[in-house]
Structure 1
Amino acid sequence: MSELRGVGIGLGVAQGVVVRMTEALPAPENSPSTVGADAERIRVRDAVSAVAAELTARGEAAGGSAQDVLEAQAMIAEDPTLQAEIDARIDAGSTAEWAVHDAFAGFKATLEAVGGYLGERAADLDDIAQRVLARLQGVDAPGVPDPGHPFVLVARDLAPADTALLDLGQVLALVTFDGGPTSHTAILAREKGIVAIVGAAEAASLATGQHVIVDAAAGVVTADPTDDEKERAAQRAAARESAVTLPPTAGALADGTPIALLANLGKPADAADAVARGAEGVGLFRTEFLFLSSAQAPTVAQQRESYRELLAAFPGKKVVVRMLDAGADKPLAFLNDAHEENPALGLRGLRALRASEDILREQLTALAEADAETDADLWVMAPMVATVEETEYFTALAREYGLKTAGVMVEVPASALLADRVLAHADFASIGTNDLTQYTMAADRLLGSVASFQDPWHPAVLRLVREVGAAGARLGKPVGICGEAAADPLLAIVLVGLGATSLSMAPSALADVRHSLSERTLDEARALAEAALAADDAAGARLAVLEAAASLPSHKKETTS
């Protein structure tokens, strides 16, 4: 028996035999074409079209954030610049296979050199190239294996196209060597409720057929467990299944302190699942879906109908709508088409909306009209607010349109450090931990090479959260968390201890977080928060909280039959 450590996603535990991810196709040989350039170009276009269609179909079937990722991959596959590079190599006498391999490799190097959002997209090119090559060669694309029985999937990492359609009836758990808590794999695993451990470097030693226990709550993979360990893991899995299938209740700590548990949503159609899982409202509704698929901004009428559909699903409940958060990883030509060397630090969020104020005013108009037609409790917030002046600007504009509750997202250290002054004007603050971590640690959240820095457990990030929580408590203003950190059941307790009054997450994470909060009092949450703040780094903070939690009394409620 041996133990391998990584970052667990959620509280689940599963066990089974390992199946390793299928290896990548070997690079083709650079041999001259025997069928001519015209035939090779046709072969490439047919293969690329088929791959793009497959990625789009997978995205539509998966929905959620997976759909956004896969649709972006389909666009990359058909990029005209990339196609021109492939054609140039075919015209020079290469086969379709070599032209695809070499052009994708060159395109990847170019994007990596640019860095930022485009640098992260470079990682997707390997998966797309492999799929096109498999089409050209008439073989199955590398990806998730199908051994014909349930298994624990072990891989270096998963491409979004693979994670999106994992067969949850067969994949018992997921273990990756690479990645972190905010990687695509982790986010999609959390969204789908898959038991997962990411960043377990030593998992590369696991072999197909080996029995393992994957304990996400502890972040431990146990290889070759004893029969007793297998039995205990089975009992824990059964107990958790019973707990998460109970009728959902309102979020609260063990001492009765209410902590609203809300849903992060990307489309109105996602509302039904959130309601079924017990979401007490919406803590983050991303409006980008209306804009990203359009060459121009949607009309007020189009927006109003989508907002009305969303609000109607939550009568009497809080629904927090984020204004269009474009720029950086979501560029929109009609909002900001200027080239920026570092778009993550450029004209994004509220900055971009102020530069095109008509789009912001149209959003507020549509929201006000939808609010008048429904009885949800609508809150609106501006993204990427960095200054007090920006806060004053947005809250005044929102009230001009009759929207009674206007707040800001705290994603920039500046607004966290001035939270008392920001909250003097805003009705609430919502902390986006993904971006707050990125800007605190100077580590692009979309760049794999610095993924190890992108961890919201870092005490520097937690100190900023404490600043906002303390300001909210002094001024009587709500402070929510809507980043991926809220979906981590252990970190959720720490965030509450730092002053968060609500937590918003993917609906699939609600049950685990609800259960985790119910086992700790407010005083205990504050003590765990202090333990995290006293650490020097993210790993130390997580370990300190685990050790401190183990010494606290249990508040598990007794059940009767």
Structure 2
Amino acid sequence: MHGVGVGRGIAAGKALRMPDRLTPPTDAPLEGDAEGEVQRATDALHQVAGDLMSRGETVGGEAQDVLQAAALMAQDPALADDVAARIRAGVNAEFAVQEAFGQFKQMLVALGGYMAERATDLDDVAQRVIAQLRGVPAPGVPMSDEPFVLIARDLAPADTATLDLDKVLGLVTQDGGPTSHTAILARSKSITAIVGVPELLDKVSDRQLIIADARSGEVTLDPTAEQQEAAEAERIKRAEVANAPITPGALADGTPVQLLANVGRPEEAAAALELGAEGVGLFRTEFLFLDSKTPPTVEQQTEQYAAMLRAFEGKKVVVRVLDAGADKPLAFLNDDDEENPALGLRGIRALRANEKVLRDQLQALADADAATDADLWVMAPMIANAEETEYFVTISREYGLKTVGAMAEVPSIALQGSQVLERCDFVSIGTNDLTQYTFAADRLLGTVAQFQDPWQPAVLRLVGMLGDAGAAADKPVGVCGEAAADPALAAVLVGLGVTSLSMSAAALGDVRAELKSVTLEEARERAARALTAVDAAEARRFAAGA
């Protein structure tokens, strides 16, 4: 069986399936005091939110952000009001929760993109609230006295983030794609994982022996003793390579490839440095804005930016200015309803329409840069053409910012690559959105998952166009999307002209090891083969020489 592998790990062992979901509540009429039932539902929502927040604080990092977002769903006032209204209309609390969350889920699915993917998280929150009301444990990862390979339709963030890595050898899911939360969190925790395996639940039973090879995306059922021994030997070999002494990123022939970390908060810096990050390829600044009804002050922003820059003293730090709109709406940027917000005022468009927000952020970055010794690079999201590039570069230069670039997430920027690079200092490719917009397929929406794979030859061609433009202009072109964390794809990206790769810090070891195994000529050959493929699966095979 085949799916999409996460990382280079391999796991062999007995399979354990995630338990079934709770039985659905019935619509039996409410018996007793409605206000008492409302209070019981309110208490359950608060309990679940508190538990998710606590789990997030325990695990930290990217997982904490995901779990906090789930907790905010449980605390959503509109949801709580809807639940209360349904109870007062005469239904029991469990059914009210199911119906209210179900209606909210339908709304998120209709929005598409990132919001549609949150629908899966919402299902998990609803299950936890219903379990709390029933006084039973919430469905979760099965308990086992021996290590196992976890089999699931998909995993909720709370489950993925808190997996017991002493027991879970690997993770295989039927749903999900390479940029799903399951894949992202598995990568951040260095869990051997394969996602999107068709018919997985129909073909794998509890305690069945399996081998999951993330490098090939292959799941072997009922392996022979010889296959199990070979898998264990390969696991040890790959672990030794991944844990080799940390060195700067480079190919086998010495060609340098800068390996950087994607970071969401200053407190994540220490872990990234420990894992060998040569700097930051994407510092997301949204954490300062998303929980606010008004923009943070210049002083508040300066403090946070300076903390990040001090952590990476003497190293490159690429900061993305506020990326809001579409999946991350902010009332102070755009309070108008948009029929298709993913194609509306987002990224640089939203900032341009609210220039004071952009200017305050650039002032804060300039102030932080003046107070520290890191090598600050600044870029804007969702740049579509040369004109938007010139606008952002011009306004950034007013604040004395020296290295200014554009994020390539819209296909049009690749078509104007040479003109864009005439006007800015670098380009950084966000492969998640670039893939979404190339195929008009919502990110993380399972029904169009086959189009969300950065191995798609059409996406690789766009990367190659930008790589060629960068080489002609003698300016760097990086990748900061999830594609950079795929070791096999990382080598292909370098073959397409990419000069730096930024990823979750946990993926640095695997990518560093893979790059050391190929020369520049070999990387270019892999890229050339991948470009001849008709789809993502074929591109993977062709790149591997199959």
TM-score tier by shorter-chain length is over 0.9
Deviations 1:496-521 (A, max 9, x none): 01000111100111111111111111
2:472 to 466, 471, 474: 474
2:459 to 441, 458, 461: 461
**Secondary structure of 2:90's aligned partner:** coil
User: Displacement, 1:32?
Assistant: 2.1
- Specify the code of the residue in structure 1 equivalent to 2:54: A
CA distance in 2, matches of 1:367, 1:298: 13
1:81 is the counterpart of 2:78: yes
Q: What is residue 25 of structure 2 aligned with on the other side?
A: 28
CA distance in 1, matches of 2:293, 2:61: 21
**Structure 2: gaps (5+ residues):** none
**Secondary structure of 2:325's aligned partner:** coil
- Specify the code of the residue in structure 1 equivalent to 2:193: A
CA distance in 2, matches of 1:223, 1:115: 35
Deviations 1:414-464 (A, max 9, x none): 111100000000000000000000000100114232222101111111111
Q: What is residue 130 of structure 2 aligned with on the other side?
A: 133
- Name the Cα RMSD after superposition: 1.3
User: Displacement, 1:226?
Assistant: 1.4
Q: What is residue 104 of structure 2 aligned with on the other side?
A: 107
CA distance in 2, matches of 1:274, 1:467: 30
Q: What is residue 559 of structure 1 aligned with on the other side?
A: none
Q: What is residue 46 of structure 1 aligned with on the other side?
A: 43
1:149 is the counterpart of 2:174: no
CA distance in 1, matches of 2:267, 2:99: 41
Q: What is residue 225 of structure 1 aligned with on the other side?
A: 223
2:53 to 45, 51, 56: 56
Q: What is residue 267 of structure 1 aligned with on the other side?
A: 265
When structure 1 is superposed on structure 2, of 219-228 and 18-27 the one drifting more is 219-228
Q: What is residue 172 of structure 2 aligned with on the other side?
A: 175
Q: What is residue 553 of structure 1 aligned with on the other side?
A: none
**Secondary structure of 2:70's aligned partner:** helix
Work out whether residues 175 and 198 of structure 1, in 8 Å CA contact, stay in contact via their aligned partners in 2: yes
Q: TM-score, normalised by structure 2?
A: 0.97
Q: What is residue 288 of structure 2 aligned with on the other side?
A: 290
Deviations 1:364-413 (A, max 9, x none): 11111111121111111111101211111111111111111100001101
Aligned length: 545
When structure 1 is superposed on structure 2, of 98-107 and 531-540 the one drifting more is 98-107
CA distance in 1, matches of 2:516, 2:265: 30
CA distance in 1, matches of 2:244, 2:258: 18
Change (3 A) 1:367 1:113: closer
CA distance in 2, matches of 1:95, 1:41: 9
CA distance in 2, matches of 1:369, 1:226: 62
- Specify the code of the residue in structure 1 equivalent to 2:231: A
When structure 1 is superposed on structure 2, of 135-144 and 205-214 the one drifting more is 205-214
**Secondary structure of 1:110's aligned partner:** helix
1:121 is the counterpart of 2:106: no
When structure 1 is superposed on structure 2, of 283-292 and 55-64 the one drifting more is 55-64
Q: What is residue 513 of structure 1 aligned with on the other side?
A: 511
Q: What is residue 558 of structure 1 aligned with on the other side?
A: none
Q: What is residue 196 of structure 1 aligned with on the other side?
A: 193
1:37 is the counterpart of 2:34: yes
**Secondary structure of 1:424's aligned partner:** helix
Deviations 1:286-309 (A, max 9, x none): 111111122221111111111111
CA distance in 2, matches of 1:304, 1:108: 38
User: Displacement, 1:126?
Assistant: 1.5
Q: What is residue 395 of structure 1 aligned with on the other side?
A: 393
- Specify the code of the residue in structure 2 equivalent to 1:242: E
**Secondary structure of 2:489's aligned partner:** helix
Q: What is residue 164 of structure 1 aligned with on the other side?
A: 161
Work out whether residues 116 and 343 of structure 1, in 8 Å CA contact, stay in contact via their aligned partners in 2: no
- Specify the code of the residue in structure 2 equivalent to 1:331: P
CA distance in 1, matches of 2:373, 2:67: 35
Q: TM-score, normalised by structure 1?
A: 0.95
Q: What is residue 319 of structure 1 aligned with on the other side?
A: 317
**Secondary structure of 2:544's aligned partner:** helix
CA distance in 1, matches of 2:446, 2:338: 21
CA distance in 2, matches of 1:77, 1:277: 34
Alignment of 1:157-556 (within 5 A): 157-204=154-201, 205-547=203-545
Deviations 1:261-294 (A, max 9, x none): 1111101111111111111111111111111122
- Specify the code of the residue in structure 1 equivalent to 2:24: A
CA distance in 2, matches of 1:309, 1:508: 22
Work out whether residues 154 and 175 of structure 1, in 8 Å CA contact, stay in contact via their aligned partners in 2: yes
User: Displacement, 1:116?
Assistant: 4.0
Work out whether residues 477 and 498 of structure 2, in 8 Å CA contact, stay in contact via their aligned partners in 1: yes
CA distance in 2, matches of 1:498, 1:273: 30
CA distance in 1, matches of 2:308, 2:75: 33
**Structure 1: gaps (5+ residues):** 549-561
Work out whether residues 175 and 446 of structure 2, in 8 Å CA contact, stay in contact via their aligned partners in 1: no
Deviations 1:22-75 (A, max 9, x none): 110011222122222111111100101101111222222233332232222222
Deviations 1:472-514 (A, max 9, x none): 0001010000000010000111100100011110011111111
CA distance in 2, matches of 1:115, 1:435: 13
When structure 1 is superposed on structure 2, of 55-64 and 44-53 the one drifting more is 55-64
User: Displacement, 1:342?
Assistant: 1.1
CA distance in 2, matches of 1:348, 1:27: 39
CA distance in 1, matches of 2:332, 2:14: 51
Work out whether residues 79 and 101 of structure 2, in 8 Å CA contact, stay in contact via their aligned partners in 1: yes
1:69 is the counterpart of 2:66: yes
- Specify the code of the residue in structure 2 equivalent to 1:230: Q
**Secondary structure of 2:199's aligned partner:** helix
CA distance in 2, matches of 1:104, 1:513: 40
- Specify the code of the residue in structure 1 equivalent to 2:75: E
Work out whether residues 144 and 167 of structure 2, in 8 Å CA contact, stay in contact via their aligned partners in 1: no
CA distance in 1, matches of 2:206, 2:263: 37
Work out whether residues 12 and 195 of structure 1, in 8 Å CA contact, stay in contact via their aligned partners in 2: yes
**Secondary structure of 2:252's aligned partner:** coil
CA distance in 2, matches of 1:118, 1:315: 36
